[in-house]
């Protein structure tokens, strides 16, 4: 089994939802054939700490835009948005299917260094989605710094159910000044979880004058870099192979020796 996935590394128009959706529509339309398209964190606004004027509900325009694009292109579309729900704001990653159904993951670890914890509520559960026989763990930006949250859960009583997932996707607005951490942690998550890792970051300055170098990456289960792009906008499509993943896990069954734990 294989999985064809496209990364869109792009500049974002600061807090301009209409401009971002129009720009991203054009980019997605240019992709000839793929199964999953991954957009950066807060792709419709940039990483803004002003959720009140920018947030939408799950019936809002950007969510409807995702539904329409996914249905017409027959793809899964993934990226995070500012969502208002139950009187709270969430940095919510949406995994939009072509049939209009979706899964959601609310960012667990809020970036207190930038005040995200003052404006957004924390998620409390992981989302592991399924596509074409692959299990995909979805995360947002700062989550990458916390290895327990991304660690393969273990069940010694049922070893045939492990590992828990095959691909980790992280969508981000990760500044260039800490790009070494971004690149290193993406590789670390792949190595320690024996999985593919896809990290999609934005490029360019945001509304606070903070520069983002992108450095979007695809890492294989041995930690080797299959794709890396810095500083430039790019649309990159790659086919990931399940046989490669299974070979690594069979030849190097390190996952069998992992400590058992449960995430509550």
Give the residue numbers annotated as catalytic, written as ranges: 41, 107, 141
Q: How many CB atoms lie within 10 A of CB 181?
A: 13
Q: How many CB atoms lie within 10 A of CB 224?
A: 11
DSSP character for 56? B
165 three-state secondary structure: coil
Q: Which residues are 197's β-sheet partners? A: 168, 219
Q: Could you tell me which of 211, 207, 218, 264 has the C-alpha nearest to residue 244? A: 218
Contact 131, 76 (CB under 8 A): yes
Contact 182, 199 (CB under 8 A): yes
Please, which residues have CB within 8 angstroms of residue 216's CB and are 6 or more apart in sequence? Answer: 7, 9, 199, 200, 201, 227, 228, 229, 234, 236
| Largest pairwise CA distance in the chain | 52
Could you identify the residue written with the tokens 């920018």? 54
User: How is residue 32 written in tokens?
Assistant: 């000839």
């Amino acid at each position: 089994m294989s999985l064809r996935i496209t990364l869109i590394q792009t500049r974002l128009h600061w807090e301009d939802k209409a401009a971002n959706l129009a720009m991203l529509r054009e980019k997605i339309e240019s992709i000839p054939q793929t199964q999953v398209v991954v957009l950066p964190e807060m792709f419709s606004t940039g990483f803004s700490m002003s959720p009140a004027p920018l947030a939408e509900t799950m019936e809002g325009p950007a969510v409807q835009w995702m539904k329409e694009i996914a249905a017409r292109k027959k793809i899964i579309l993934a990226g995070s948005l500012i969502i208002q729900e139950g009187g709270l704001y969430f940095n919510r990653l949406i995994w939009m299917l072509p049939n209009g159904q979706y899964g959601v993951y609310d960012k667990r670890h809020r970036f207190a260094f930038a005040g995200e914890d003052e404006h957004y509520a924390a998620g409390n559960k992981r989302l592991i989605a399924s596509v074409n026989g692959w299990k995909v763990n979805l995360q947002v930006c700062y989550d990458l710094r916390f290895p327990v949250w991304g660690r393969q859960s273990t069940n010694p009583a049922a070893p045939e159910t492990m590992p828990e997932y095959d691909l980790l996707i992280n969508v981000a607005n990760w500044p260039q000044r800490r790009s070494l951490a971004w690149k290193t942690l993406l590789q670390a998550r792949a190595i320690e979880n024996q999985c593919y890792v896809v990290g999609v970051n934005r490029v360019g300055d945001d509304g606070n004058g903070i520069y983002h170098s992108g450095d979007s990456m695809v890492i294989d289960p041995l930690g080797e870099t299959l794709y890396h792009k810095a500083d430039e906008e790019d649309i990159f499509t790659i086919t990931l192979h399940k046989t490669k993943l299974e070979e690594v896990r069979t030849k190097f069954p390190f996952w069998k020796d992992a400590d058992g734990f449960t995430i509550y």
